[in-house]
Chains A and B, each alone.
Chain A
Amino acid sequence: QVQLQQSGPGLVKSSQTLSLTCAISGDFVSSNSGAWDWIRQSPSRGLEWLGRTYYRSQWYHNYGLSVRSRITINPDTSKNQVSLLLTSVTPEDSAVYYCARSCGGSSCYAFHAWGQGTVVTVSS
């Protein structure tokens, strides 16, 4: 059973870069049957899908329209983890951030496993 353990700072200053990591156990980030997503949740924006990375003989990425110019999701095969970088943050980026897994023997269009969530506050 896959488990996702998130880590990263809970406080980021405006205009700086938010950086979070999701350590994977029970699967491999480079698995041909998995996909790794980042999702955030805030009272003002609700649940918002941010982006995904997955490996199918090569790495693929796709990102949400609202953050496309600021986001990077990087797989790290040596540590079996996936990271989220969000640049030029503002207080509107304050949210609970989740990593999640899709596919893995089930639908690639739903989020079957979730990390514990990281509360991120952007200070102005």
Chain B
Amino acid sequence: QSALTQPASVSGSPGQSITISCTGTSSDVGGYRYVSWYQQHPGKVPKVMIYDVSERPSGVSNRFSGSKSGNMASLTISGLQAEDEADYYCSSYTSSNTWVFGGGTKLTVL
């Protein structure tokens, strides 16, 4: 199972919006509404920010939103804040009854 494809890095200024893409295949991202997104600060444990494509766990800011079209999912962060600087990973359930992750995207807040 190949990893999902994410851009290595994205950046934005405080207050701006950014979008991180996550591209898979019809056997994972395109085949199910089971895409999730994780935020990981350096040396910390990953934290789920979005699940089931667009659902937000309790306590996660509504500045985080998710969507999907075909084989590509996206995470959008609006009103960028310094604390959003972190690595972001997407994940998808697959037709093999397994899970696959993306390679990660480093978000820099300028």
Residues of A in contact with B (beta carbons under 8 Å apart): 37, 46-49, 62-66, 98, 106-107, 109-112, 114-117
**Nearest residue, chain A, Cβ from B49:** A110
> Is the CB of B109 closer than 8 A to any CB of chain A?
no
Residues of B in contact with A (beta carbons under 8 Å apart): 1, 3, 32, 34, 36, 38, 45-48, 51-52, 55, 57, 89, 91, 93, 96-104
Q: In whole angstroms, what is the CA distance A65 to B100 when docked?
A: 11
Q: List 24 A-B contacts (CB under 8 A).
A: A37-B99, A46-B3, A46-B101, A46-B102, A46-B103, A46-B104, A47-B46, A47-B101, A49-B91, A49-B98, A98-B45, A106-B51, A107-B34, A109-B32, A109-B36, A109-B52, A109-B93, A110-B51, A111-B36, A111-B46, A111-B48, A112-B48, A114-B47, A115-B45
Q: In whole angstroms, what is the CA distance A69 to B32 when docked?
A: 27
A116 with B45: CB separation less than 8 A: yes
**Residues of the A chain whose Cβ atoms lie less than 8 Å from the Cβ of B45:** 98, 114-117
B91 with A110: CB separation less than 8 A: yes
Q: In whole angstroms, what is the CA distance A63 to B101 when docked?
A: 15
- For the complex formed, measure the closest distance between the CB of B33 and the CB atoms of chain A, giving whole angstroms: 9
Q: In whole angstroms, what is the CA distance A117 to B98 when docked?
A: 21
**Nearest residue, chain B, Cβ from A46:** B103
**Residues of the B chain whose Cβ atoms lie less than 8 Å from the Cβ of A109:** 32, 34, 36, 51-52, 93, 99
**Residues of the A chain whose Cβ atoms lie less than 8 Å from the Cβ of B36:** 107, 109-111
Q: In whole angstroms, what is the CA distance A69 to B104 when docked?
A: 27
Q: In whole angstroms, what is the CA distance A5 to B92 when docked?
A: 25
